[in-house]
Structure 1
Amino acid sequence: FSAPYWVYRKAGRSAYAITDRRAILLDAGWFGGLNVRSFGPDELDDITRKQRADGSGDLIFRRDISHTHDSTHTRDIGFMAIRNVKDVETIIRTMVETARTNSAGPEAS
């Protein structure tokens, strides 16, 4: 990919990009800042897809778990509320496989 593949979240203030080397989450902060999280191929091994009947859904890259004295909270991290979630999953899995093949060098061929 020469240019990032962009997926915009309709209901929020997030944007997502896929390059030939990573998946990127951009979230508008509460006070005008921008939070950026980047996931390389090694961090995208265990993607979970949650798909709705209309083809939209979530791609979960990781789950953050926090504990307080009386409860446990989980937060899914990934591309949330996106259209054509299966197609986006395929793009990410292809990127991961291509990155692995390229990093293996010519000996692996």
Structure 2
Amino acid sequence: MPDPLVAVVSFLPLPGRRDDVVEALGPIIEMVQAEPGCLLYALHEASDGTLFFIEKWASKADADHHGSTSAALPLLAERLSPLLSAIPVITELTPLPVGTPQQGSL
């Protein structure tokens, strides 16, 4: 069985545009959550206003498939580009499991 892939995508809305960004993401999140291999696609917010997608895919192949064929990605670019202060940053994470298997990795 392949190892799951976890990624974090960070993006910062323009001042006063946070609610517009969150509203634009609603239908896109639902599309991505329905994609094969999507185990987690959750939107979170930091105290400084930065928004984060925390993604977990059943395998790197599933994440790659999402990255190359997802109908959601062009919508993300179209709807979010005018609302963000910078290009989103995507970071793939490698687990360093310490402690229990359930609590030591996403």
**Structures share fold, TM-score greater than 0.5:** no
Structure 1 or 2, whichever has the larger Rg, is 1
- TM-score with structure 2 length normalisation? 0.26
- TM-score with structure 1 length normalisation? 0.26
Higher-RCO chain (CA-CA 8 Å, sequence separation at least 6): 2
- Compare the two structures and name the one with the higher strand fraction: 1
